[in-house]
Structure 1
Amino acid sequence: MAILILGLVLFLGIHCVSIVSPDGRDRLAKRMGEMAYKGVYSLVALAGFVLIVWGYGLSREAPVMLYAMPGGFRHLAALLMLPVFVLLFAAYLPGRIQRAAKHPMLLAVKLWALAHLLAQSVTGGSLADVLLFGGFLVWAVADRISLKRRAAAGGLRAVPALPASGFNDAIAVVGGLAVYVAIVLWLHAAWFGVRPFG
């Protein structure tokens, strides 16, 4: 469990710099240099991600069970997951979906995390599940609140993006749903050993 916790601290911690100190990212980047900052940021995030995957895998060998959800909740989880990959595509493809969601990546993370907390009718909810999915859910909510405050204070930088178009929305929907189907039917079981629909 310690490896999972360390991974979460590293991965979510580095992603919390702007939440904790809105100007902290810019000050660090200026002090270190933009490329050096991005390099360190990427290495810390990658190390955290590797530790999360490793630690979560280890925790499944001797799980500490906390709760179980009714069987029907896995269908609710599947429904919540339906827009997740569409939103992930839309985060990088400006269009109506991105405009309506405002921050599609954070919305995708919140839906993914909540869905996985509710889907524990298949395997049962363990301490590792609560730490992993609950940690990402708390981070996404905190980051969304932080973004609202930074926008109100005029502290958000414009990020270069592709021009908005309806074609981007079509790509997001088709691509997102294709990834969803592939994960539900094959990849989730192959990668994680759990079939979403039993």
Structure 2
Amino acid sequence: MLNLVIGLVIFFGLHSVHIFAPEWRARSMAKNGAVRWRMRFGLISLLAIASIVMGFMQARLAPVWLWNPPMWTHQIASLLVLVSFYFAAAALIPGTKLKSMVGHPFLLAIKLWAFAHLISNGTLADLVLFGGFLVWSIVSFAVARRRDRAAGVEKPEYIGVHMDLAAFVVCIVCWFAMVFFLHKMLIGVSPLI
């Protein structure tokens, strides 16, 4: 569990710099160069993710159950994850309607993904991991929206329905791959159970 907590603290700290210390980030990027900054950021992120995965897998060996979620929460979680995949695809594909309306759909995707996993899993490790991501994404979204409004940042332009359709196709393909193949292979648990 300690590795999980350490990894989460590093990951969230690192991914909160642009929100809570944007001036320091800009100075560091200017001083060291954007490429070097991104390389360090990526390396530390990978180490944090490795610590999170290792800690979560260790905690699953001796789970501490806080509640026993009913089976129907798995179906709700699958639907919420489908919607979160659409939000993530809409964030990555330029010119979608969702991105033009919300501004930060990837943070909404993380919120839905974390909430879906919280309602369908009941161990302490699940609460720490998914609860941590849920709290972080809620705070990050609120701060990012407030900062954008204060700075007068305009939301991205909507290009057209073809971009929404592209996001939908990416969403469906990724969701099917995750539900029917990758989740069992990577996590060891099928979401279809």
1:93-132 → structure 2 map (5 Å cutoff): 93=93, 94-120=95-121, 125-132=122-129
**Aligned twin of 1:36:** 36
Mark the runs of 5 or more structure 2 residues left unpaired by the alignment: none
**Aligned twin of 1:165:** 160
What whole-Å deviation, never above 9, does each CA across 1:60-103 have from its counterpart, x for those lacking one?
11112212222222222112111122221111212213223421
Q: Aligned partners of 1:195, 1:183: CA distance in 2, in Å?
A: 9
Structure 1 residues 113 and 67, CA gap change in structure 2 (3 angstroms): same
Structure 1 residues 10 and 42, CA gap change in structure 2 (3 angstroms): same
**Aligned twin of 2:51:** 51
Preserved CA contact (<8 Å) 2:100 2:157: no
Structure 1 residues 179 and 28, CA gap change in structure 2 (3 angstroms): same
**Aligned twin of 2:67:** 67
Same amino acid, percent of matched pairs:
36
Any runs of at least 4 consecutive aligned residues in structure 1 with deviations exceeding 6 A, and if so which?
none
Tell me the number of residue pairs that the alignment of Structure 1 and Structure 2 aligns: 192
Which amino acid is the alignment partner of residue 64 of structure 2? V
Q: Aligned partners of 2:20, 2:109: CA distance in 1, in Å?
A: 22
**Aligned twin of 2:22:** 22
Mark the runs of 5 or more structure 1 residues left unpaired by the alignment: none
Q: Which moved more, 1:133-142 or 1:11-20?
A: 11-20
What whole-Å deviation, never above 9, does each CA across 1:94-121 have from its counterpart, x for those lacking one?
221322342111011000000000112x
Q: CA deviation at 1:162?
A: 9.7
| 2:66 partner SS | strand
Q: Aligned partners of 2:19, 2:124: CA distance in 1, in Å?
A: 26
Say yes or no: does 1:139 pair with 2:136. yes
Give 1 or 2: higher helix fraction.
2
Preserved CA contact (<8 Å) 2:97 2:158: no
Q: Which moved more, 1:87-96 or 1:23-32?
A: 23-32
Q: CA deviation at 1:135?
A: 0.8
